[in-house]
Amino acid sequence: MKSKILLLTIISFVTLFSCKENGSPIKQKKQIVRKQPKSVSYTMENAKTWLEQNAVDVSKIEIVTAINRTDKKNLAKLDSIVIPSDFSGDVVYYLPFPLEVNYLKDVSKVLIFSYPTQTFAAYENGILAYSGPTNMGRKKDKTPTGLFFTNWKAEETTSTFNDEWDLKWNFNIENKLGVGFHEYELPGYPASHSCLRLLEKDAKFLYDWADQWVLADEENVKVKGTPVIVFGSYDFDGAKPWLQLVKNPKSLDISEAEVEKQVAPFLKSILDQQKIRDDYTKTSVE
């Protein structure tokens, strides 16, 4: 028995060593332990009444603000809000992005914003690392869609649109247009001047999670930051999409196939830029 165990150990070691020698180290999937609710269904309730009963319950507030794409301050200003029947799960189960996308397995990091659902997702090698609500550009100042890369960041900066607006945990994704994601109030609908508004905790997470660009000089980028994809459109004249959840809890679900469809046109560019960053990081360490 011991000899068999020893043989298996040697085989495992040789296999691992062989992989490394061939330049193909085995990638370990990131394991994230999450708690799934027993069921997901929704009702409409009066915001004021619900808050009177649950205002001090932090976990419930986190889930309800995410579902209604708002923050606690603005939640109190709404008339009716969408409430889940079961609060036992982690917040990602009440948001539309899939927990795993095999198509992204070779992508170290990618941040995806969905205009139709007003949510975002951060993936690491195809595994959902983080997700939350967002309020994107209003009808006359829409957030541009397509592929971007994170550029520079600042814990606090002043808006280029209005110098009275202080933007916290700001990460720029379009330098010339001044578009970025940052903390700012979420009224529960697209209301920004093209930026991607986030809750404070979400803005802080992405601020630390995403990579900044590396400049060759004042005019040229040597290494681009983390890829960011913004996709879809929003029906500004219709009802808030998440209100549909009451009739159909899966109405906003984003499938793996949909994520693949949105990423596919940009995958080569993303992987090319990822290699440039990996090579730069390797050279810097050496």
Under the banding of pLDDT at 50, 70 and 90, the label for residue 5 is very low
Distance, CA of 226 to chain centre = 12
Q: What is the pTM of this model?
A: 0.88
Give the pLDDT score at 157.
77
Give the pLDDT score at 116.
98
Give the pLDDT score at 166.
78
Average per-residue pLDDT for the chain = 89
Q: Please write the tens of the pLDDT for every residue from 200-213.
A: 999 999 999 999 99
pLDDT over 90, % of the chain: 80
Own/partner pairs, 53-61, CB within 8 angstroms, 24+ separation: 59/87, 60/87
In 34-192, beta strands by DSSP E: 42-46, 80-84, 110-114, 119-124, 127-133, 146-149, 153-158, 166-174, 179-183
Q: Please write the tens of the pLDDT for every residue from 11-49.
A: 343 333 333 334 444 456 667 889 999 999 999 999 999
Mean pLDDT, residues 92-102: 98
Give the pLDDT score at 15.
38
Q: Please write the tens of the pLDDT for every residue from 122-170.
A: 999 999 999 999 999 999 999 999 999 999 999 987 655 555 567 899 9
